[in-house]
Amino acid sequence: MDQRPSSPPGGPAAPDEVVTVYDAVGSVTGTAPRSRVYAEGLWHASAGVLLRSMDGSRVYVHRRSPDKAVFGGMHDCLAGGVVDPGESPGETAVRELAEELGVTGIELSPIARVRWDGRWDGKPLRCHLFAFEGRYDGPIVHQASEIVDGWWWSDAELRAHLADPSWAFVPDTRALLADYFA
């Protein structure tokens, strides 16, 4: 999932995107710049899509760009990002799937939701996570600034990697899909 500060440490300054802020139980409380959300460990929300082949036998897995400030270079099986002001998690999922993988016009179904109170780079990272599933067999077009590689795996291949704690996989997606792949 796309959870990166807008101005990565050591990277070029970028406009500070405003994101939706939540409370610990999942109610929207307002908005704040993404940099403040990450610096102060404010609750926010993220939504992502688990993309399956049309027959359901394969899941699309990708490696995040190493330039991403949060979870850079790690693997993920959700195309996603933070919920913007005025968006529902479902709208975020549709937007992020189009941006990151170039996939549009498919039906999405909710599959998981968790409250994740994690850490990244020595700071709290608190997020309400929403996962959706879609089926697709068409072309994948990576957003170059977000994704450097991608491939299809069977559930068994993905489960085996998820069971390996040394495999570099984004921790919030691992927590979000813990019951899904059990």
Nearest 10 degrees: Cα torsion 161, 145, 60, 91? 120
**Residue 92 within any structural domain of the chain:** yes
Average pLDDT over residues 25-36: 95
Average pLDDT over residues 90-105: 98
Beta bridge partner(s), residue 72: none
Q: What is the CATH number of the domain that holds 163?
A: 3.90.79.10
**Residue 129 within any structural domain of the chain:** yes
Percentage of the chain beyond pLDDT 70 is 91
Look at residues 84, 75, 65, 69 and name the one whose alpha carbon lies nearest to residue 143: 65
Q: Return binding residues.
A: 96, 100
**Residue 5 within any structural domain of the chain:** no
Average pLDDT over residues 152-169: 94
pLDDT band at 3 (very low <50, low <70, confident <90, very high): very low
**Residue 4 within any structural domain of the chain:** no
Average pLDDT over residues 60-83: 93
Model pLDDT, residue 182: 73
Domain limits for position 172? 18-176
**Residue 181 within any structural domain of the chain:** no
Model pLDDT, residue 68: 84
pLDDT band at 69 (very low <50, low <70, confident <90, very high): low
Average pLDDT over residues 75-91: 96
Q: Return binding residues for Mg(2+).
A: 96, 100
Per-residue CA distances from 166 to 65, 74, 75, 102, 136 (Å): 19, 11, 12, 30, 30
**Residue 11 within any structural domain of the chain:** no
DSSP H helices in 41-165? 89-101, 155-162
Positive or negative, the Cα torsion across 6, 70, 85, 43? negative
Number of domains in the chain: 1
pLDDT of 171 strictly over 90 = yes
**Residue 12 within any structural domain of the chain:** no
**Residue 99 within any structural domain of the chain:** yes
Quick check: helix, strand or coil at residue 169? strand
